[in-house]
Structure 1
Amino acid sequence: MSVWLRPGFARHLKIPPNFRMLLLLTLALPLLAQASNPARTSAPALDRTITIATGEYPPWVGSSLPHNGYVNHIINEAFASQGLKVEFVYLPWKRAFEETRQGKFDATSYWYENDERREAMLFSDTVITNRIVFFQRADAPKVQWKTFNDLAPYRMSITLGYTYSGEFYQAIDSKLLNPIIVSSDVQNLKLLMAKRVDFFATDEMSGYYMAAQLSIDPRKLAVIEPALIKPQGYLLAGKINPDSQLIINTFNRGLRTIKANGKYQKILNRIDATSFYNPNAKTQNSSAR
């Protein structure tokens, strides 16, 4: 309730000084309470469809995958929990990043961290944690490694433009490692199965997914432990976009919501229920939401 007093009104009233002070405090207390409790003020809200530039990286993201892939499913559910719809636009990865940086899209999904991205983008909370591993043939002698020196005697291949660790690139620059560089992970897998390399590095889930697409039994592949890196994946928003902080805050709030209500874990459970990852897995839960 608001109270309006005509200017000079108090001068015409015969009010004792102590009551006058009480009146002023009564009028001021609601304002002071609101100032001391910002949570009571209404926060700005988005009221439009969120456009997200993304790319092809199955099974995590992909235009032909159920729910646009596991990561984009998480992102969609997080925004949906905040009452927002999402439109995914599939582009080459470099273009998806650049056009989001320029503010043409609200956000882009999904990316690992590096200095260039930190400089241009706002990062969400962690959406997913991946495992970049070395794959070898299951019928080959087991490769064991602790340092890159242990890998030096072997033949390996990597994908041009892929995000590996800084230490891995340093080992290549120093000529300690001399990998074959190809344009796609599919080429890496074909080289491995043809016994032209001893192992290659890629995301663990993506490696198994590619094998399934090429009709390769996943039991013919073996993961070399430990993982090369365990990068965290994020939703990014261009700093040039005036709504970028609001978009990230809204997404983070939604991510916390779906983790609390169990939807996040249900999406992750779909991974364990997929036959491309485990040939003995049951598939009846593959559509769980």
Structure 2
Amino acid sequence: MSEPVDGLRGFDHEVVEEVFRRKGLAAEIIYVPWTRAMSDTKNGLSPVLLSCARSEERAEYFHFSEPISRDTYGLYFRRGFELPEISGLSDIIGQRVASVHGYVSLAKLHEIGADPIEVPSETTGFKMLALSRIDFLFSGKEATDFFLKQSGMSGEFDFHEIEYLEYHLCLSKKHPEAGALLQPFNDGLAEVKADGTYQLIHARYR
């Protein structure tokens, strides 16, 4: 989160800072629009992108760290709403579903041929759900649950899991110093997971 919420910046943000700190490496996390962050790192203007999912296309431009987090993607719906039979994402085609502008979840809906409603934020999506203007909000659970908690609407919705994605630190293949960061980062990540620091960071967001 570019602006802290109750002093919290995001679990990926905290984990990455802690890993670099342990390895004696200075890390400054700068928040810019996603398209610029992707472009700058892809072209070697920035060494590292926080964070991205692995894909064949991105493997052309990035080295991927070990997974720093995972996001369980699925459908939020009003408590009491009769859920149709949904075993995969394609089953959502034809349903009234929304997702947040710029998120990978929205791109996935377009990829399968759905006609999603774009919303500017999770908060807007949940307000539309509560008013029955949509039936589903497709989003990642780990991050979205934090926003639900902040909005005081946690008890109003249920969640149906579809799939999950793992997120990585993505290091530019074009930046001269980025490749050398990969192994130290992976080693430090293993350390924070082994000693419980990783789990403590994530617990603050539940």
TM-score, normalising length from structure 1?
A: 0.63
Structure with max Cα Rg: 1
Identity across matched positions, percent: 23
Alignment of 1:38-77 (within 5 A): 56=1, 62-65=2-5, 66=7, 68-77=9-18
Choose from 223, 232, 239 the match for 2:159: 223
Alignment of 1:193-232 (within 5 A): 193-213=130-150, 215-224=151-160, 227-232=161-166
Tell me, in whole angstroms, the C-alpha distance in 1 between the residues paired with 2:88 and 2:193: 36
Query: Which residue number corresponds to residue 196 of structure 2?
Result: 262
Choose from 63, 67, 72 the match for 1:122: 63
| TM superposition shift of 1:260 | 2.2
Choose from 214, 233, 240 the match for 2:174: 240
AA matched with 2:56: D
| TM superposition shift of 1:197 | 0.9
**Residues 1:216 and 1:269: Cα distance change in structure 2 (over 3 Å):** closer
Tell me, in whole angstroms, the C-alpha distance in 2 between the residues paired with 1:248 and 1:101: 16
Alignment of 1:109-188 (within 5 A): 109-148=50-89, 150-152=91-93, 154-164=95-105, 168-172=109-113, 177-188=114-125
Unaligned runs of 5+ in 2: none
Would you say the 8 A contact 1:130–1:231 is kept in 2? yes
Tell me, in whole angstroms, the C-alpha distance in 2 between the residues paired with 1:209 and 1:82: 29
AA matched with 2:173: K
AA matched with 1:104: L
SS of the residue corresponding to residue 188 of structure 1 reads helix
Would you say the 8 A contact 1:122–1:245 is kept in 2? yes
Between Structure 1 and Structure 2, the one with more strand by share is 2
Tell me, in whole angstroms, the C-alpha distance in 2 between the residues paired with 1:67 and 1:101: 28
TM-score, normalising length from structure 2?
A: 0.86
**Residues 1:211 and 1:265: Cα distance change in structure 2 (over 3 Å):** closer
Tell me, in whole angstroms, the C-alpha distance in 1 between the residues paired with 2:177 and 2:183: 10
SS of the residue corresponding to residue 190 of structure 1 reads helix
SS of the residue corresponding to residue 231 of structure 1 reads strand
| TM superposition shift of 1:88 | 1.1
The CA RMSD measured in Å over matched residues stands at 2.4
Number of aligned pairs? 205
| TM superposition shift of 1:241 | 0.9
Q: Which has the higher contact order (CA 8 A, sep 6+)?
A: 2
AA matched with 1:210: F
Tell me, in whole angstroms, the C-alpha distance in 2 between the residues paired with 1:120 and 1:237: 8
Alignment pair present for 1:190 and 2:103: no
Alignment pair present for 1:79 and 2:15: no
Deviation digits for residues 110-144 of structure 1 (CA, Å, limit 9, x no counterpart): 11122332211111111011111100011322344
